[in-house]
Amino acid sequence: MLGRLVNRALERVTPDYPWGDTAALFRGASWRACNLECALSDRGSPWTITEKAFHFRSDARNIAVLKAAGIDAVSLANNHILDFEYEAMADTMALLDGAKIDRAGAGANIFEASRAAIRSVGEIKVGFVACTDNEPDWQAGPSQPGTFYVPIDAGDERAQRLFETVRETRRRADIVVVSLHWGPNWGYQAPIAHVRFAHSLVEAGVDIVFGHSGHVFRGVELYRGRPIMYCTGNFVDDYAVDEVERNDQSFVFIVEVIAGRLRSVQLHPTVIRDCQALLAEGAEATEIALKMRQLCSELDTEAQWRAKDPRLDIPIPGGS
């Protein structure tokens, strides 16, 4: 989230500032994706058609922040992309296209919003699909701009569109990633409905489920050898920190792929300070990692803490 106080900070610091010392991890990856929780634009008025408490927009020049970390794809399917109405959303999409950053989850109509972004990464093609169960009033239609809105109900026709998009992407890509901006802001356990829905996505052909929206991280499950990240928490923002549910703590999530097969998930603990993501250290890194290890254990996922690195490793037995 690059708006509000982060946007103000970016008036006096360089574009790589929000990434802190996590930037090296992003630059060392072959493909990088994130959820963009704001519009990038110098235009637009705050959304007032329906009641909304927070409006997030970052200056158009801050497209440079995404470029600084080498981001390849962003999800626009969330509850802030239309905070400054359709004008700012259109600017965001144009800026991303100009920067050659793939986007998914929003568009001029439902066909564009639900379309997968596919990119070749060496010899592998990665397909990226994004949707949200937030802000139903923002859903795109046949001639209506907006987001790829999907209720978390496998029987709903909009969910069926998602599953069909996954199956079609599966035919064109070697690895399929689905980004879901879903569920409640708080709570360390994934809702049962999310578990069932994520399993259905894997059964339809998804390799990596990338969940977010909640302000705290939730456990990672391996289902049929595919990692499900139910919620990856907050990474860069200016939010007030809850003393119990620490919304300033999370990870850089790295999925290791060798010879086209998923081998492991590596989680590097992070903390937000002064609108910047930083690698957690010492006792704080251990605290974050052990919390995640417990949450993974509740999902029957084995996670190994490597304090010297420091990172949490989730091996994928046999690869997939």
Q: How many domains does the chain have?
A: 1
Coil, strand or helix at 73 = strand
pLDDT tens digit string along 57-107? 999 999 999 999 999 999 999 999 999 999 999 999 999 999 999 999 999
**Closest CA relative to residue 34, chosen from 58, 82, 66, 79:** 66
Q: Give Rg (Cα) of the chain.
A: 18
Which DSSP category does 55 fall into?
A: -
Q: Which residue is associated with the tokens 């795109």?
A: 140
Nearest residue to 311 (alpha-carbon basis) of 289, 278, 287, 283: 289
Would you say the pTM of this structure is higher than 0.85?
yes
pLDDT tens-place string over residues 97-115: 999 999 999 999 999 999 9
Residue type, 37: E
Our CA angle for 283, 210, 59, nearest 5°, is 85
Residue 242 predicted with pLDDT over 70: yes
Cβ-based burial of 317 (10 A; exposed 0-12, middle 13-18, buried ≥19): exposed
The pLDDT of residue 319 is above 80: no
Residues 196-200 have a mean pLDDT of 98
> pLDDT at position 117, please?
98
**Domain range enclosing 217:** 4-315
208 assigned to some structural domain: yes
CATH number for the domain that contains residue 284:
3.60.21
- Using alpha carbons, list the distances in angstroms from residue 243 to 30, 240, 281: 35, 10, 19
- What would the pLDDT profile of 122-154 be if each residue is shown by its tens digit? 999 999 999 999 999 999 999 999 999 999 999
**Element containing residue 97 per DSSP (H, E):** helix 85-98
Report how far residue 93's alpha carbon sits from residue 97's, in angstroms, rounded to the nearest whole number.
6
- Determine the pLDDT at residue 261: 94
pLDDT recorded at residue 268 = 98
Burial class (CB in 10 A: 0-12, 13-18, 19+), 209: buried
**Which residue, chain included where needed, has tokens 């879901």?**
180
**Two structure tokens written together for 84:** 């400054």
Check residue 291 and give its pLDDT. 98
CB proximity list for 294: less than 8 A, separation 6 or greater: none
Cα distance between residue 279 and residue 269, in whole Å: 6
Res 320 pLDDT > 70: no
Residue 37 lies in a domain: yes
Cβ proximity of 178 and 129 under 8 Å: yes
| Paired tokens of 65 | 């922040």
Question: What 3-state class would DSSP assign to 197?
Answer: helix
Q: Does the residue 260 lie in any domain?
A: yes
Q: What are phi and psi of 290, to 5 degrees?
A: -70, -30
Average pLDDT on 282-305 reads: 97
320 inside domain:
no
- Asked if residue 174 is part of any domain, the answer here is yes
pLDDT classification of 5: cutoffs 50, 70, 90: very high
Angle, nearest 10°, between helix axes 192-204 and 157-172? 40
Which residue bears the tokens 């235009």? 43
